[in-house]
Amino acid sequence: MLLTYLQVFLVGGAVCMLGQLLINLTKMTSAKILVTFLLIGVLLEAIGVFDEIKDFAHAGITIPITGFGSTLAKGAIEGVEKEGLLGALTGGMKAAAAGLSSAIFFGFVISLIFKAKTKV
Amino acid sequence: MISRTEYNELNAKLAPKSKEGRTLLFAFLVGGLICMIGQGFSDLFKLLLPKSDEKVIGQLTSTAMIFLGALLTGFGIYDRIGKYAGGGSIIPITGFANSVVSPAMEYRSEGMIFGVMCKMFVVAGPIIVSGIASSVAVGFVYRLIGAIK
Amino acid sequence: MNFGTQTIRFNNKPRVLSGYSIVGPKESMGPLDPYFHKRLRKDDFGQRSYEKAECKLHMSAISGAIIAAGMTPQDIDVNIGGDLLNQIITSSFSARELDISFIGMYSACSTFGQALIVGAALIDGGYIRTATASTSSHFSTAERQYRYPLELGTQMTPTAQWTVTGAGCSLLGKEGSNIFVESATIGKVVDFGISDANNMGAAMAPAAAKTVLKHLQDTSRSVDYYDHIVTGDLGIYGSRLFLKLLESEGIKAGAVHLDCGAMIYDKKQRCPQGGSGAGCSSVVFNSYFLHHMRAGAIKRLLLVPTGALLSKLSSLQGETIPGIANAVAFEREDD
């Protein structure tokens, strides 16, 4: 149990540190960083190594945006297996629907309740 | 006066650099911590819903994390974490929530339709577009390989 | 030009009758706090949006300067103002509330210099009696227009500068003060190929150096002629480049040079290279420098507001950042 959390911490931290390294070296903005890591997740899933990393790192690789990429790619692959070509279009969105819809819904609700405050 | 090229060389040489060690350490610590919180949610859901399969647990976990990120953004806390953590708070799924919620809040003053709804994806748009486009491409390629085999 | 190729000499000595500065909470925690005329406790200024808050700031600065000179808006012939927001809405919306003829200006953060030059020229030419020159900027409105939503968790890069929340106004007139605008050098747009929008100090330093060099050349003066040469918002790093550029021309200005952006915040306030924004030079000039000129501690001052002429669109299209700097020389007549 504790070991699992240590693995999560180390891998998750390392992924984020890699992102920070990219920011420091290339002055990438947050959108570019997120896209980069999302595509890494898609790629890892597509070549079939994501699950192996996940077996070791658990949330350490699924909580970073790489996990979102993997969910999308995995959904598309499973969609193809079930429904053929159409599944490539529907599978990814279906698998990622919870994340996408919750982000949109919470974003909407929060914008009604809170006002943007200035930075300090 | 010195030439354009010389000036750019001078700028490259003199420009202050990020405090590499410190930023990397903060990104590592905060990123790792957020992932541990995610693992905590995942274990909690497994405990509460022992019969659910892994996919449902995963979806619940990301929803919970997105809610957490959205709420911290609403309270104006997430941007303060981001100031120190950088990549550590950008890359986790909470950072994705932050990138959706922050423009929604920011553009609230421009109205519901053109403010909140239009501008909600000014930061997160590319993430969604690239994610969906690449996953569809992966699906197509997968199908293609299947057909060849 | 009546003084070299880029410089105007104002023969009739247009006067600086008064100055007023109003700043946000962060600026009032900085080292210049004792000199500001008014400080906000909250930067929304009791308004619904930050844009409205900036507009109120701008108006307060203009009316503050008018009151400080013991005048009323009817005594002002022209209100010359500018800011950073698209279509300079801050200045024009504050002019909507004031019943004064209005000239809107834009040259990014060097707008204050431009406004002073036009005001001084109109007075010097005898066309008008009085003019206000005002500029403003607001961190939260600039952040939205040029960068990211406020609540997005981003990091400032080490060369970044913090947009000053504040507005400053100088009231120029024909007579009634011993401080006058002696001459001004209108800058050329200079681009040395810097494209990082978070390194505006480096983008503007060449423009500032060129304008100062030209001013010294046109007026055949050395840097020692001035008690201070004050650049607008080059920031700490930009100032370093500025001095290096002057040095490459054999001019050592380190002893007299100051930068409003580098002065306005404390190191502890975590603004990597200091402040920036159209309000930066106007706020610092109308508080700190005008105070010391009045007191006689500074007799000759060259104010060089600097501007980075970029937009979000030009940055995204990969354009480099052109810079501009206008120099305005102030002198004090001793009675």
Give the angle subtended at the CA of A55 by the CAs of A50 and A57, to the nearest 5°.
Answer: 85
- Residue C297 CA to its chain's centroid (Å): 21
Under 8 Å between Cβ of C200 and C238: yes
Q: Where are the alpha helices (DSSP H) in C15-83?
A: 25-28, 50-68
Under 8 Å between Cβ of C90 and C47: no
Contact map slice: B 60-99 vs A, CB within 8 A: 60-63, 65-67, 70-71, 73-76, 79-80, 83, 85-88, 90-93, 95-97, 99
Query: Which pair of structure tokens corresponds to residue A77?
Result: 């692959």
Task: Please determine, for residue A70, whether its predicted confidence score (pLDDT) is greater than 90.
Answer: yes
Find the mean pLDDT for residues C93-114: 96
Q: Is the dihedral of CA B87, B91, B96, B97 positive or negative?
A: negative
Task: Determine contact: C123 vs chain B, CB below 8 A.
Answer: no
Q: Which percentage of chain C shows pLDDT scores above 70? A: 100
Find the mean pLDDT for residues C33-42: 96
Give the angle subtended at the CA of B20 by the CAs of B19 and B25, to the nearest 5°.
Answer: 105
Average pLDDT, chain A: 94
Confidence of residue A2 (pLDDT cuts 50, 70, 90): confident
Among the partner residues C151, C153, C196, nearest to A116 by beta-carbon distance: C151
φ/ψ region of B80 (left if φ > 0, alpha if ψ in -120 to 50, else beta) reads alpha
Task: Tell me the pairing of strands C166-173 and C130-137.
Answer: antiparallel
Half-sphere exposure of A49 (CA within 13 A, CB side): 5
Give the residue from chain B lying closest to C50, CA to CA: B109
**Spatial separation of the C-alpha atoms in residues C231 and A46, rounded to whole Å:** 55
Q: State the pLDDT at residue C334.
A: 83
Rounded alpha-carbon distances, angstroms, from residue B44 to A63, A106, B52, C301: 15, 22, 12, 67
Half-sphere exposure of C34 (CA within 13 A, CB side): 3
Query: What phi, psi does B124 have (nearest 5°)?
Result: -85, -15
Task: Please determine, for residue A45, whether its predicted confidence score (pLDDT) is greater than 90.
Answer: yes
Under 8 Å between Cβ of C306 and C232: yes
**How many H-runs (helices) and E-runs (strands) does chain B carry?**
8, 0
* Host H or E run for residue C114: helix C111-124
Confidence of residue B149 (pLDDT cuts 50, 70, 90): confident
- pLDDT tens, residue by residue, C114-137: 999 999 999 999 999 999 999 999
SS3 (DSSP) at C172:
strand
Cβ neighbours of residue C95 under 8 Å, at least 6 residues apart?
Answer: C79, C81, C102, C104
**Spatial separation of the C-alpha atoms in residues C318 and C99, rounded to whole Å:** 42
Task: Determine contact: A6 vs chain B, CB below 8 A.
Answer: no
Mean pLDDT check: name the lowest of C85-89, C155-159, C214-218.
C155-159
Tell me the β-bridge partners of C173.
C15, C130
Chain A partners within 8 Å of C143 (Cβ): 119
**Burial degree of A28 (CB within 10 A; 0-12, 13-18, 19+):** middle
Q: Where are the alpha helices (DSSP H) in C248-333?
A: 260-264, 278-284, 290-295, 312-316
Rounded alpha-carbon distances, angstroms, from residue C126 to B102, C12, C80, C122: 52, 9, 17, 6
**Spatial separation of the C-alpha atoms in residues C265 and C36, rounded to whole Å:** 13
Cβ–Cβ below 8 Å for C143 and A120? no
Q: State the pLDDT at residue C335.
A: 66
Rounded alpha-carbon distances, angstroms, from residue B50 to A55, B7, B56: 19, 64, 11
Q: DSSP state, C69?
A: T
**Spatial separation of the C-alpha atoms in residues C122 and C130, rounded to whole Å:** 9
Give the residue from chain A lying closest to B92, CA to CA: A64
Confidence of residue C21 (pLDDT cuts 50, 70, 90): very high
DSSP string for residues in B5-39:
HHHHHHHHHHSPPP-HHHHHHHHHHHHHHHHHHHH
**Spatial separation of the C-alpha atoms in residues C199 and C322, rounded to whole Å:** 12
**Spatial separation of the C-alpha atoms in residues A91 and B139, rounded to whole Å:** 8
Closest approach of C250 to chain B, Cα-based (Å): 10
Query: Which pair of structure tokens corresponds to residue C95?
Result: 């002019």
Cβ neighbours of residue A97 under 8 Å, at least 6 residues apart?
Answer: none
Average pLDDT, chain C: 96
Under 8 Å between Cβ of B61 and B45: yes
Confidence of residue A27 (pLDDT cuts 50, 70, 90): confident
SS3 (DSSP) at B124:
coil
- Domain-by-domain residue ranges, chain C? 7-173, 179-332
Confidence of residue A1 (pLDDT cuts 50, 70, 90): confident
Share in percent of chain C as helix, strand, coil (round to 5): 40, 25, 40
Q: State the pLDDT at residue A26.
A: 86
Does this chain's domain C7-173 share its CATH topology with C179-332? yes
Find the mean pLDDT for residues A65-86: 95
What ipTM was estimated for this complex?
0.94
Among the partner residues B2, B73, B82, nearest to C154 by beta-carbon distance: B82
- pLDDT tens, residue by residue, C253-306: 999 999 999 999 999 998 999 999 999 999 999 999 999 999 999 999 999 999
Q: DSSP state, C108?
A: T
Q: State the pLDDT at residue B20.
A: 83
Find the mean pLDDT for residues B5-24: 92
Q: State the pLDDT at residue C117.
A: 98
Half-sphere exposure of C308 (CA within 13 A, CB side): 31
Give this prediction's pTM: 0.93
Which overall architecture, per CATH, does domain C7-173 show?
3-Layer(aba) Sandwich (3.40)
Find the mean pLDDT for residues C313-334: 95
Cβ–Cβ below 8 Å for A8 and B104? no
- Which chains neighbour B (Cβ–Cβ under 8 Å, 3 or more pairs)? A, C
Task: Please determine, for residue A120, whether its predicted confidence score (pLDDT) is greater than 80.
Answer: no
Which overall architecture, per CATH, does domain C179-332 show?
3-Layer(aba) Sandwich (3.40)
SS3 (DSSP) at B92:
strand
